[in-house]
Amino acid sequence: MRIVSLAGGIGGARFLRGLKAAAPDSEITVIGNTGDDITLFGLRVCPDLDTVMYTLGGGINEEQGWGRAGETFTVKEELAAYGMEPQWFGLGDRDFATHIIRSQMLAAGYPLSQVTEALCDRWRPGVRLLPMSDDRTETHVVVSDEAGRRAIHFQEWWVRLRASVPAEQIVLVGADEARPAPGVLDAIAAADVVILPPSNPVVSIGTILQIPGIRAALEDKTVVGVSPIIGGAPVRGMADACLTAIGVETSAQAVLELYGSALLDGWLVAEEDKGVALDGVVVEARPLLMSNPEATRDIAAAALTLARSLKS
């Protein structure tokens, strides 16, 4: 079976580990979010691609969910000793190596998709990991504070401010001119089923869907999504702040309506969200907490079973 999955960072990566376990003989292509990408100290950092790569490749810091296992922070401390900003983004020594190689390859003219493939040569994530686009797009957040009304990089809002300042707007800069990375539309066209993991519906999945051509290609396929919202709240993280910014309630029902019936054929919700419904979408309620690898595998298996049953 050929499976395509979209993915953000931690939530997406953990789900993908379950998906691999649920479908060991399938060919899985992951379309990763690059709206969170940021240039720091002259280095191009792709947090979501790296989280997927490290998680599936066995290099992730399991407790934290991002960054490398066994990490040290000597470079970060040395930069801070020089007073170098920003100091709010945690880059470890091991992680730095990834960003150095990526930046060097990008500077040599390789597109991000080829850089990602080269990095995955080491990590062997067991999926084909594609960035949503080789073109640079960045999620920016419009906020108002003492400094006035301004747009800041998503990471500054998410990591430095912990989304404590309300987002007035969330914009994917460069979206209109961006093209899907090579292989993305072909993988979607060849897919038997498409699965949307419980990644952030605004700044992860929503970002990928904004790359011209991707949503339309997905609408032709059998797509099943897993709700990231359980009982009116995100399971972890601050997805509620992102949903509020785009005027969407934090509920499994509202995220279902946000994705819509043109995109989704099936929607998995948690048992406490039984009753969620939308014309044209088959909704199933089941346990949705990715509390351990087995529970996560069972969620992914349920998504696949639903998708197969809906495939016309």
Question: What is the binding site for Ca ion (CB under 5 A)?
Answer: 8-9, 36, 48, 204
Q: Which of ligand GDP, Ca ion, none does 35 bind, CB closer than 5 to 8 A by kind? A: none
Give the SS3 label for residue 121.
helix
- Residue 4 interface partner, choices ligand GDP, Ca ion, none, CB cut-off 5-8 Å depending on type: none
Report, in Å, the least distance between residue 92 CB and Ca ion.
18
Closest CA to 22 of 235, 217, 308: 308
Per CB under 6 A, residues contacting ligand GDP are 8-12, 48, 198-200, 204, 226-228, 230, 234-237, 239, 288-290
Q: Which residue carries 């998680």 as its tokens?
A: 55
Instruction: Kindly state the smallest distance separating residue 268's Cβ from ligand GDP, in Å.
Output: 8
What CA–CA distance (Å, rounded) separates 194 from 221?
7
Residue 53 binds what, of Ca ion, ligand GDP, none (CB under 5 to 8 Å, by partner type)? none
Q: What values do phi and psi take at 11, rounded to 5? A: -60, -45
Q: Cβ closer to ligand GDP: 67 or 237?
A: 237
161, burial (CB in 10 Å: exposed 0-12, middle 13-18, buried 19+): middle
User: Closest CB to Ca ion among 13 and 217?
Assistant: 13
Phi, psi of 49, rounded to the nearest 5 degrees = -60, -40
44-to-39, 95, 151, 237 alpha-carbon distances in Å: 5, 12, 20, 24
Residue whose beta carbon is closest to ligand GDP: 8
- Least spacing, CB of residue 235 vs ligand GDP, in Å: 4
Report, in Å, the least distance between residue 137 CB and Ca ion: 13
